[in-house]
């Protein structure tokens, strides 16, 4: 199924979850539990990340196959092409096509942390170039990433939209955004996209709050800002009470998602961090009140 068909006019908002391959036996045990629990929620699709420089290439393909064939879930496979040569790019995508994946989210990706990593001479520098390479060679429904607060490497918000325009012109049919904690960033982003005549569906990414420390760490890495009011609220939580932070994060995400859904977003993508408790409760509450 082409994901784009889920966002036809008149259809209900979608709900989806992002997962990433496990790197240790304990992480695998946790991922298995997460998959089992989140599958019960019957998401419209799940997305599977792809490590920098192809570091999770085989794990990402295996996880996508597991979700698609064992759990019967629709899958968007992320593809981060930084540093990979054209043959490697084609090989990875042929692997996804071989297991029946029909939807791919194309991102440039970050440089691997391995100091010995060297990009292939024929690697591509931008997501728009990857999309232009993939589009005539594969029949995937292709998507691109969006950044409501701007990509960390963009000089201005307008430059960031220049890059998004190139990605859509090169074949991106939908956009899934980085997360944000202030919905005004997303609403302003959509308005600016539409003013540029970027008309593809734009699905907001939502990151539940798991702890104050993780919130700050992820924000510094991903380029999402933490509003001062949110930072103060987290600081006021009991320092040793992990459940208090999770409960706060659930309530915050429910309010955020409620406002996004009321504004007519095509769907939500929840960044699970391979955890199920918060995501399950957020979706349950939204469904119980009829927002989803």
Largest CA distance in the chain: 55
Query: For residue 262, what are its two tokens?
Result: 């009321």
pLDDT in tens, 194-216: 999 999 999 999 999 999 999 99
Q: Tell me the whole-structure pTM to 2 decimals.
A: 0.94
Give the residue from 229, 186, 190, 238 showing the smallest Cα distance to 211: 238
* 167-181 mean pLDDT: 98
Distance CA 69, CA 231 (A): 41
Residues 6+ apart with CB under 8 A from 87: none
pLDDT in tens, 87-135: 999 999 999 999 999 999 999 887 777 777 787 889 898 999 999 999 9
Of 91-95, 111-115, 138-142, 227-231, which gets the smallest average pLDDT? 111-115
Q: How far lies 210's CA from each of 217, 218, 220, 226, in Å?
A: 11, 11, 15, 14
Distance CA 110, CA 162 (A): 20
Class of the domain covering 3-288: alpha beta
Query: Residue 35: which pLDDT band, with cuts at 50, 70 and 90?
Result: very high
pLDDT at 239 over 90: no
pLDDT for the residue 10 = 86
Average pLDDT taken over every residue of the chain:
93
Query: Residue 139: which pLDDT band, with cuts at 50, 70 and 90?
Result: very high
Catalytic (active-site) positions: 18
Give the residue from 210, 288, 291 showing the smallest Cα distance to 247: 210
Distance CA 39, CA 17 (A): 10
pLDDT for the residue 59 = 87
Distance CA 114, CA 272 (A): 26
Q: How many CA atoms lie within 13 A of 248 on its CB side?
A: 20
Residues 6+ apart with CB under 8 A from 168: 144, 175, 198, 200
Query: Domain ranges in the chain?
Result: 3-288
Query: Residue 263: which pLDDT band, with cuts at 50, 70 and 90?
Result: very high
């Amino acid at each position: 199924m082409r994901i784009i068909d889920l966002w036809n006019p008149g259809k209900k908002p979608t709900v989806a979850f992002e997962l990433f391959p496990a790197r240790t036996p304990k992480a695998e045990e946790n991922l298995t539990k997460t998959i089992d629990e989140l599958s019960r929620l019957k998401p419209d699709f799940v997305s599977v990340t792809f490590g920098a420089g192809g570091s999770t290439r085989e794990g990402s393909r295996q996880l996508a196959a597991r979700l698609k064939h064992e759990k019967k879930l629709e899958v968007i496979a992320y593809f981060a092409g930084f540093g990979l040569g054209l043959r490697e790019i084609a090989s990875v995508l042929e692997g996804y096509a071989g297991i029946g994946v029909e939807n791919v989210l194309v991102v440039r990706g970050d440089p691997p942390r391995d100091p010995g990593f060297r990009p292939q001479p024929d690697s591509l520098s931008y997501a728009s170039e990857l999309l232009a390479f993939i589009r005539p060679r594969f029949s995937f429904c292709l998507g691109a990433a969006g950044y409501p607060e701007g990509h960390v490497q963009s000089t201005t918000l307008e430059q960031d939209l220049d890059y998004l325009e190139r990605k859509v012109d090169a074949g991106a049919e939908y956009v899934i955004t980085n997360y944000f904690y202030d919905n005004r960033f997303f609403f302003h982003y959509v308005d600016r996209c539409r003013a540029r005549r970027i008309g593809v569906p734009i699905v907001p990414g939502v990151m539940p709050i798991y702890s104050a420390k993780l919130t700050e760490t992820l924000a510094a890495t991903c380029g999402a800002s933490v509003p001062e009011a949110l930072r103060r609220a987290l600081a006021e939580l009991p320092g040793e009470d992990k459940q208090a932070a999770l409960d706060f994060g659930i309530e915050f995400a429910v309010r955020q998602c409620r406002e996004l859904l009321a504004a007519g977003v095509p769907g939500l993508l929840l960044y699970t961090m391979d955890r199920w408790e918060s995501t399950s409760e957020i979706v349950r509450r939204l469904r119980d009140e009829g927002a989803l």
